[in-house]
């Protein structure tokens, strides 16, 4: 069965972790584009300009197709990867977590760094409200007025989310439906030859 649900954080949060005088401050943001990620990174760099490192990881898209981790000068895989690991273990997407480090004068070593970045990221996530969203597809239905009852019956039967309607002589209705239910819904509409249905976009 295709899973059309995915999880995001509702709003930005902050987490913190301290180890041997080093401070790790984590910022999490809901994000939807690489442009937005750049903006948030700049925001954190301005806010925490005195920090030695600004490490981050992000995942974009409902299917988690875009993922990236950045160590920003820390030893390879000691910062970005543990942050990304926390995002993945919480099954989140459309999220950016930036963890900044203020060096406390004592080296933490590789295991210490991994633990610190992981724990700071986990703290930021623990402060967040996690929401579940559904991948939906939008379709446009075109029909003549006499077919109105048939169309509205199907809208009710499949519990479709009506986005827009234009009921003139030539009628038009745009609806959204959970991706897992699209095949069945579209096939049923297509059985009525007086109605035309076309895919618009996935949301």
Asked if the domains at 5-132 and 136-202 fall in one CATH topology, the answer is: no
Q: What's the CATH number for 136-202?
A: 3.30.70.240
Question: What sign has the CA pseudo-torsion 131, 79, 82, 114?
Answer: negative
pTM value surpassing 0.75: yes
Rounded CA Rg of the chain: 23
- State residue 107 phi and psi, 5-degree precision: -70, 140
Structural domain boundaries of the chain?
5-132, 136-202
Give average pLDDT by consecutive 10-residue segment, the chain, 203 residues.
83 97 97 97 97 96 94 97 98 98 93 97 98 95 93 95 92 94 93 93 88
For domain 5-132, which CATH number applies: 1.10.3300.10, 3.40.50.11540, 3.10.110.10, 3.30.230.30? 3.30.230.30
CB 151 within 8 A of CB 127: no
- Three-state secondary structure call for residue 197: strand
């Amino acid at each position: 069965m295709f899973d059309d649900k995915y999880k995001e954080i509702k709003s930005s949060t902050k987490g913190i972790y301290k180890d041997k005088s080093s401070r790790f401050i984590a910022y999490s943001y809901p994000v939807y584009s690489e442009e937005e990620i750049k903006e948030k990174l700049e925001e954190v760099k301005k806010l925490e300009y005195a920090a030695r490192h600004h490490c981050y990881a992000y995942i974009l898209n409902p299917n988690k197709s875009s993922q990236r981790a950045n160590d920003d000068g820390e030893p390879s895989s000691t910062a970005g990867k543990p942050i990304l690991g926390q995002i993945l273990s919480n099954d989140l997407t459309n999220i950016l977590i930036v963890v900044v480090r203020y060096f406390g004068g004592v080296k933490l070593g590789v295991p210490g760094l991994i633990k610190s970045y992981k724990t700071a990221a986990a703290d930021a996530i623990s402060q967040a409200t996690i929401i579940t969203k559904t991948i939906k597809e939008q379709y446009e239905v075109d029909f003549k007025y006499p077919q109105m009852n048939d169309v509205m019956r199907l809208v009710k039967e499949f519990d479709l989310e009506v986005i827009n309607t234009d009921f003139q002589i030539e009628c038009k209705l745009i609806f959204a439906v959970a991706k897992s239910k699209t095949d069945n819904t579209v096939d049923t509409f297509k059985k009525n030859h007086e109605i035309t249905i076309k895919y618009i976009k996935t949301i």
